[in-house]
Structure 1
Amino acid sequence: MTENAPLKIHDLRPAPGSNKAKTRKGRGEGSKGKTAGRGTKGTRARTAVMPGFEGGQVPLQRRLPKLKGFSNALFKTTYQVVNLDRLGELFPQGGEVTLDDLVAKGAVRKNQPVKVLGTGEISVALNVQAHAFSASAKEKIAAAGGSVSEL
């Protein structure tokens, strides 16, 4: 490199002594040769100890109790929730509210059941279609002059 030439990335070198080579075990006397840090004899010197082995102590998977009982949680229907105040924001003119309309406006995802809850107030008449309604939502929609139809 000449004095006037610009410094380039390939001209850079690490400072002397900053990069030290990693010890490669078991490659000669000077690098933990022979036993390579495993000690002498025994299972750990010869092979890997099997996962979960705790030296003869009763292992964790045998100390913990088995799960008992049965749960119907797998069969529970989980609804996407839409509140009345949100419906009022999305449909200020009133009219028909279908699942496709809710998906198009980003209120719910498609292919999942929808439940309308009665949080908030509604002032316009909405004809709402959904899979489920809370009792308060049905009352408030009917009071505003709308109707409810369950799918």
Structure 2
Amino acid sequence: MELNSIKPADGSKHAKRRVGRGIGSGLGKTAGRGHKGQKSRSGGYHKVGFEGGQMPLQRRLPKRGFKSHLLKFNAEVTLTALEQLGLAEVDLA
């Protein structure tokens, strides 16, 4: 097998369908968007999390937890670093 001879499996790739190019194509006129409404308009969509004026899920659920400022940072100590110390025995203290 060569890199220049690799091809995808038959049927795994589909040609991109061009919409809004006449009624004979099957996806002309409204181009699969239906009639009227916000989603049929160009640029007509809503921001992520927007629920049509209803209080969004993100704001309905209570906040939880906190991050302690007193939390100590635990550094990672690798075996190689311990080996380079050249000690016979290493204590945690």
TM-score normalised according to structure 1 size: 0.37
Out of 27, 38, 50, the residue aligned to residue 43 of structure 1 is 38
Match of 1:91 in 2: 87
Secondary structure of the residue aligned to 1:62 is helix
Larger Rg, first or second structure (1 or 2): 1
Provide the rounded CA distance (Å) in 2 between the counterparts of 1:39 and 1:64.
Answer: 35
Identity over aligned residues, as a percent? 45
In the TM superposition, residue 27 of structure 1 has moved relative to its aligned partner by 2.4
CA contact (8 A) 1:38 1:44 kept: yes
Out of 70, 75, 80, the residue aligned to residue 80 of structure 1 is 75
Provide the rounded CA distance (Å) in 1 between the counterparts of 2:15 and 2:76.
Answer: 60
Which ranges in structure 2 are unaligned for 5 or more consecutive residues?
none
1:65 aligned onto 2:62? yes
Match of 2:17 in 1: 23
Out of 13, 28, 32, the residue aligned to residue 27 of structure 2 is 32
Q: Report the aligned-residue RMSD.
A: 4.0
Which ranges in structure 1 are unaligned for 5 or more consecutive residues?
1-8, 11-16, 98-115, 118-132, 134-151
Which structure has more relative contact order (CA 8 Å, sep 6+)? It is 1
Higher helix share: 1
Provide the rounded CA distance (Å) in 2 between the counterparts of 1:91 and 1:20.
Answer: 64
